[in-house]
Amino acid sequence: MTDMEDSGNLKDPGNIAEMENTANIQELVFHPGRGRGLTNLGWLQSRHSFSFGGYYSPDRMGFGSLRVLNDDRVIEGAGFDTHPHQNMEIVSIPLAGALEHQDSAGNRGIIQAGDVQIMSAGTGIMHSEYNHSAEEPVHFLQIWILPEELDIKPRYEQSTYRLPDRGLLPLVGPNANSAVRINQQAYFSIGVIPEQSDLSYSLHSETNGLYVFLLEGSIQAGKRILKERDAVGIGGSPEAPVSFHGLTPESRLLLIEVPPARNQ
């Protein structure tokens, strides 16, 4: 984004808390949806889960390698002019409307609900993002992950997925098992939990953390009740799956598993 520099100029991104080698599930952070930061520029309304642009909170500097989670709404015909990024993994997930991407590597794509997009900025890239429609607003999540390997060749990828009626669908990961590939040991899954149904997720590493962002409905995550746009950060181990329980007819959630942040 034009109002924030990339990883080289970020403040301390906030490492995941030290975790003991135990099977116990730990709640590391709780971020109520109503407590997110706000940017309102008229053409853009954005809610920030972590410090970004003009919003700063020392308690919200990131969750491990997860540095930015912006809930963006852009009016028809508007968008982010061409601006630079470097050494950042940028994932966009539209929730409604259509988003148009162009970059200095010659990539151009249009994504809408049911699509996921990733740009590995690597050594440096210029790009723009616009609402593709002149009639309807676009609503999307923009998520930044600190990379595993610095100064790679920039790359772009997008893919279409079908949300399951229930259960989890891998969206982003470091290998070909997900819809798009990321330069980090990070895993995104999107899922649906019907009312009075259960869902579980196993971490890939005991040093990773899981950021649970509720898109719709209400669920129970451990001892915590989450409502729309609430989030909780969880630690544990691969031997102890994290369990969720649906409390409304249909709840939708985004799971972001990330390793601790390294100094960039």
Q: CATH top-level class for 7-258?
A: mainly beta
Report residue 247: phi and psi, to 5°: -115, -10
To 5 degrees, how large is the angle CA 65–CA 94–CA 10? 30
What pLDDT, on a 0 to 100 scale, did the predictor assign at position 3? 36
- CA 193 to chain CA centroid, Å, is 19
Over range 109-128, report the average pLDDT.
97
205, 206, 171, 207: which is closest to 187 by C-alpha? Answer: 171
Mean pLDDT (the chain) is 90
Say whether pLDDT at 8 is over 90. Answer: no
Question: How would you classify the pairing of strands 180-181 and 167-173?
Answer: parallel
pLDDT tens digit sequence for 125-144: 999 999 999 999 999 999 99
pLDDT of 109 reads 94
Task: Check pLDDT > 70 for residue 69.
Answer: yes
Residue 246 in this model has a pLDDT that exceeds 80? yes
Distance CA 203, CA 88 (A): 23
